[in-house]
């Protein structure tokens, strides 16, 4: 299997990233840093001092390429990790630990892919597999099972995003934005409950209906409507500022939300930052041995 993951051009010896007003004062070909989704400019050696004076972050072309290759692999590991890789991994796991029939289903494979796609290490595979087995008693839906597993592996998640001194440098989602998302999702749920009541559908059947395509399409439409609302558009500036902070300190961008809106906000971000992997974790997914330092508040400028 061959995957074409990325393409790009090198248009200078150095790449400078900074605020738009600083970038506009530099001579060179404009570019884009897909690592953090920020604008930049390719400059020559003669522009180096000027760029530094303007407060730009500068990388030579070789470190630029190296960083992006590493990021491409990290961001696409869930695509690279196919079913044959999963079953090879599972065979080794079963020899060392234990065997369970549910782990040999495509659902378990999808859960692992979901975790990888959100930057979560699977090195502590025994903890993850145990959580998958336990969660399978409550749901067989891969997305819901992934959320259940996440809640039961806070140490794995914390290790994936923390610095060596066990600190997660994160941004916090504004409660006003959380309330907006939560109300929209509750309205969707209420509308479907009305349908169930009109047709005398039991809560068990309703739970099954939520897994069906019609409900999922409505869910995606709701997220799209939220993403296109003014208050979410106003969030972009604060997120870009936070991305700049992470870029200068070589940190993974992490936004902390409440448990109920984590998955929804992650999906909403994709409408605005398609090529930037911003990691979203809930406050329930942080291990007590780890400290969170909030260095930004994701709020709307509108």
3-state secondary structure at position 167: strand
Instruction: Identify which of 10-19, 114-123, 180-189, 202-211 has the greatest average pLDDT.
Output: 114-123
Q: Helix (H, G, I), strand (E, B), or coil: what is residue 121?
A: coil
Q: Specify the higher pLDDT residue, 86 or 4.
A: 86
Q: How confident is the model at residue 201 (pLDDT cuts 50, 70, 90)?
A: very low
Q: What is the pLDDT of residue 103?
A: 96
Average pLDDT, the chain: 83
Q: Is 236 helix (H, G, I), strand (E, B) or coil?
A: helix
Q: What mean pLDDT do residues 282-301 have?
A: 93
pLDDT at residue 105 in the model: 94
Give pLDDT, residue 286. 96
pLDDT band at 2 (very low <50, low <70, confident <90, very high): very low
pLDDT value at residue 115 = 93
| Dihedral class, residue 202 (left if φ above 0, else alpha if ψ from -120 to 50, else beta) | beta
Instruction: Identify the pLDDT of residue 129.
Output: 96
**Phi-psi category of 37—alpha, beta or left, where left has phi over 0 and alpha has psi -120 to 50?**
left
HSE, CB side, 13 Å, CA atoms: give it for residue 192.
Answer: 21
Domains and CATH numbers, the chain: 14-72 (3.40.30.60), 78-152 (no CATH), 167-298 (3.40.50.12790)
* pLDDT more than 90, % of the chain: 37
* pLDDT score for 51: 85
Q: Which helix (H) or strand (E) holds 15?
A: strand 14-17
Give the separation between CA 244 and CA 37, rounded to whole angstroms.
9
Instruction: Identify the pLDDT of residue 45.
Output: 86
| Burial readout 25-45 (b: 16 or more C-beta within 10 A, e: otherwise) | ebebeebebbbbbbebbbbee
**Residue 36 to residue 215: CA distance in whole angstroms:** 33
* Alpha carbon of residue 262 to chain centroid: 10
Checking if the pLDDT of 205 tops 60, the result is no
Q: What pLDDT is stored for residue 283 in this prediction?
A: 94
Q: Which pLDDT score, from 0 to 100, does residue 128 have?
A: 95
Q: What is the DSSP letter of 172?
A: E
Looking at per-residue pLDDT, the higher value among 212 and 122 belongs to 122
Side by side, the strands of the sheet bearing 38-43 are 29-33, 38-43, 14-17, 57-60
Q: What is the pLDDT of residue 219?
A: 76
Rounded to whole angstroms, the Cα distance separating 277 from 74 reads: 10
pLDDT of residue 73 exceeding 70, the answer is: no
How high is the pLDDT of residue 216? 65
Q: Say what the pLDDT of residue 247 is.
A: 80
Rounded CA-CA distance 145/129 in Å is 12
pLDDT at residue 206 is higher than 60 = no
Residue predicted with more confidence, 80 or 35: 80
How high is the pLDDT of residue 8?
Answer: 64
Segment 110-151, tens digit of pLDDT: 999 999 989 898 888 999 999 999 999 999 989 999 999 999
Confidence of residue 270 (pLDDT cuts 50, 70, 90): confident
Of the segments 72-76, 139-143, 228-232, 255-259, which one has the largest average pLDDT value?
A: 255-259
The pLDDT of residue 167 is 96
């Amino acid at each position: 299997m061959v995957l074409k993951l990325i393409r790009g051009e090198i248009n200078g010896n150095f790449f400078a990233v900074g605020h738009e007003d600083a970038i506009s004062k530099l001579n060179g070909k404009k570019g884009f840093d897909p690592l953090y989704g920020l604008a930049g400019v390719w400059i020559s050696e003669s522009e180096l001092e000027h760029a530094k004076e303007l407060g730009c972050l500068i990388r030579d072309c070789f470190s630029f390429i190296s960083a992006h290759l590493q990021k491409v692999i990290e961001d696409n590991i869930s695509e690279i990790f196919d079913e044959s890789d999963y079953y090879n991994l599972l065979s080794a796991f079963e020899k060392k630990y234990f065997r369970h029939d549910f782990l040999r289903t495509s659902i378990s494979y999808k859960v692992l892919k979901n975790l990888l796609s959100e930057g979560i290490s699977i090195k502590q595979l025994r903890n993850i597999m145990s959580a998958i087995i336990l969660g399978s008693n409550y749901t067989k839906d891969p997305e819901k099972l992934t959320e259940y597993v996440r809640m039961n592996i806070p140490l794995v998640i914390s290790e994936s995003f923390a610095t060596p001194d066990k600190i997660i440098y994160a941004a916090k989602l504004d409660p006003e934005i959380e309330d907006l998302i939560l109300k929209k999702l509750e309205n969707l749920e209420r509308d479907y409950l009305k349908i169930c009541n009109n047709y005398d559908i039991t809560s068990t059947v309703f739970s099954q209906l939520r897994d069906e395509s019609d409900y999922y399409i409505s869910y995606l439409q709701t997220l799209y409507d939220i993403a296109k609302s003014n208050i979410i558009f106003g969030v972009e500036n604060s997120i870009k500022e936070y991305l700049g902070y992470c870029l200068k300190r070589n940190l993974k961008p992490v936004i902390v939300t409440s448990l109920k809106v984590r998955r929804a906000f992650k999906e909403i971000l994709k409408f605005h930052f398609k090529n930037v992997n911003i990691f979203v974790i809930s406050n329930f997914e942080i291990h007590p041995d780890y400290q969170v330092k909030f260095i930004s508040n994701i709020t709307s400028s509108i």
